[in-house]
């Protein structure tokens, strides 16, 4: 070990840090070689290989021919299947550590999930091509489909979310959130893997978009940067703990457009088909089909009440 001014003091600091790992209440350490956690680098590798399968020639090997593309895609999917199976086994074992036959159960769960995911790939790719077309038709600045695939953060974030959503629907723990948070860190767009998104979805610009777990988005929806589809409040049980699994985020019906900076909150909030939500609006009530909302959709008194109920503040509005 290289000598430096702190050399003699590091041993004691190291021992103090490591001693904290042993605390029963420490959730920030996992020192258990018998139950390894999934690997973030492995998840990155899975996504990179899937992008090369979904968009051949744009990602991965570029010198493909009609004669070798099937072999190339087969090799990529072989790697995806092996990596994904291993990571799902680890995630499933961690998710159910108390199961008596944990190893065998995790393997069965992983086999079913990976098979279910692989057979969905053709349909997933068809769905993504509709998103690609929507992006091209929805942005006059786009010069080509190649530009969108290479350079549009919204399209990249949606691709990752759709991959993660398939795994989410198959009951895979941990990995879908790792995937979408990797996409979030890269693109600035935060889409929960549980969000249900219809075909031909387009996020323009994208930075700062947040779409919550129970949001439902219909077909041909377009949203701009800084849009939030969030929860208005969080239900709690009699012990004060958050109630999970409830519908907390809004529903956007088909052909809705939401402009930059709009905030739409609440599980009971429904934006009707063909409605347009203007920029920088704050919407917590349902909007009729075809309606245009160009101002905050609630009174100031109503805003105060809602903010006090949800977050404990409302003064100054």
Q: Does residue 41 carry a pLDDT above 50?
A: yes
Q: Does residue 101 carry a pLDDT above 60?
A: no
pLDDT of the residue at 100: 44
Q: Are residues 221 and 305 in the same domain?
A: yes
Q: Are residues 212 and 175 in the same domain?
A: no
Q: Are residues 219 and 88 in the same domain?
A: no
Domain stops at, among 189, 220, 252: 189
In a domain, 55, yes or no: yes
Domain stops at, among 136, 157, 189: 189
What CATH number is associated with residue 287? 2.160.10.10
pTM of the complete model: 0.89
pLDDT of the residue at 311: 56
pLDDT of the residue at 317: 36
In a domain, 296, yes or no: yes
Over range 185-195, report the average pLDDT. 98
State the chain's mean pLDDT as an integer: 90
pLDDT of the residue at 112: 97
Q: Which domain holds residue 167?
A: 34-189
62-96 per-residue burial string, b: 16 or more CB within 10 A, e: under 16: eebeeeeeeebbeebbebbbebbbbbbbbbbbbbe
Q: What is the pLDDT of residues 80-100, one digit of tens each?
A: 999 999 999 999 988 887 654
pLDDT of the residue at 310: 54
In a domain, 28, yes or no: no
Number of domains in the chain: 2
In a domain, 184, yes or no: yes
Q: Are residues 44 and 132 in the same domain?
A: yes
What band does 7 get if pLDDT is binned at 50, 70 and 90?
Answer: confident
Taking a C-beta distance cutoff of 8 angstroms, is the pair 273, 238 a contact? no
pLDDT of the residue at 315: 43
DSSP element (H, E) containing 226 = none
pLDDT of the residue at 298: 62
In a domain, 24, yes or no: no
Q: Does residue 12 carry a pLDDT above 80?
A: yes
Q: Are residues 166 and 212 in the same domain?
A: no
Domain stops at, among 156, 189, 222: 189
What CATH number is associated with residue 161? 1.10.3130.10
What is each CA distance from 117 to 109, 128, 268, in whole angstroms?
12, 15, 31
The tokens describing 10, both together, are 């590091």
In a domain, 176, yes or no: yes
In a domain, 273, yes or no: yes
Q: Are residues 77 and 50 in the same domain?
A: yes
Q: For residue 252, what are the β-bridge partners?
A: 217, 271
Q: Are residues 185 and 300 in the same domain?
A: no
Helical spans, DSSP H, in the chain: 7-21, 40-54, 69-95, 102-138, 145-151, 153-169, 175-187, 300-311
Q: Are residues 183 and 219 in the same domain?
A: no
Q: What is the pLDDT of residues 268-307, one digit of tens each?
A: 999 999 999 999 999 999 999 999 998 766 655 555 555 5
The tokens describing 98, both together, are 């108390």
Over range 27-46, report the average pLDDT. 88
Q: What is the pLDDT of residues 110-162, one digit of tens each?
A: 999 999 999 999 999 999 999 999 999 999 999 999 999 999 999 999 999 99
Q: Are residues 178 and 41 in the same domain?
A: yes
pLDDT of the residue at 20: 84
Q: Are residues 62 and 177 in the same domain?
A: yes
pLDDT of the residue at 316: 37
Q: Are residues 66 and 181 in the same domain?
A: yes
Q: Are residues 123 and 226 in the same domain?
A: no
In a domain, 13, yes or no: no
Q: What is the pLDDT of residues 259-279, one digit of tens each?
A: 999 999 999 999 999 999 999
């Amino acid at each position: 070990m290289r000598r430096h001014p702190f050399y003699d003091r590091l041993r004691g600091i190291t021992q103090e840090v490591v001693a904290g790992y042993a605390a029963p209440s420490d959730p920030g350490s996992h020192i258990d070689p018998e139950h390894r956690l999934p690997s973030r680098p492995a998840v990155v590798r899975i996504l990179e290989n899937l992008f090369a399968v979904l968009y051949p020639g744009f990602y991965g090997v570029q010198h493909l021919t009609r004669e070798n593309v099937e072999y190339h895609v087969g090799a990529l999917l072989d790697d995806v299947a092996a990596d994904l199976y291993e990571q799902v086994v680890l995630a499933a074992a961690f998710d159910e550590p108390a199961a008596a036959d944990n190893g065998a159960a995790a393997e069965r769960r992983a086999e079913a999930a990976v098979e279910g995911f692989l057979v969905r790939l053709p349909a997933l790719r068809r769905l993504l091509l509709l998103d690609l077309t929507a992006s091209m038709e929805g942005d006059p600045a786009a010069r080509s489909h190649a530009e969108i695939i290479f350079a549009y953060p919204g399209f990249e974030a949606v691709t990752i979310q759709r991959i993660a959503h398939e795994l989410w629907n198959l009951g895979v723990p941990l990995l879908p959130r790792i995937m979408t948070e990797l996409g979030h860190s890269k693109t600035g767009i935060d889409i929960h893997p549980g969000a249900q998104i219809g075909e031909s979805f387009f996020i323009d610009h994208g930075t700062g978009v947040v779409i919550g777990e129970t949001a439902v988005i219909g077909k041909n929806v377009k949203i701009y940067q800084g849009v939030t589809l969030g929860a208005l409040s969080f239900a709690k049980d009699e012990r004060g703990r958050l109630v999970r699994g409830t519908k907390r985020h809004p529903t956007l019906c088909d052909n809705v457009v939401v402009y930059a900076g709009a905030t739409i909150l609440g599980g009971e909030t429904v934006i009707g088909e063909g409605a347009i939500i203007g920029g920088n609006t704050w919407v917590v009530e349902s909007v009729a089909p075809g309606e245009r909302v160009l101002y905050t959709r609630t009174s100031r008194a109503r805003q105060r009440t809602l903010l006090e109920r949800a977050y404990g503040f409302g003064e100054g509005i």
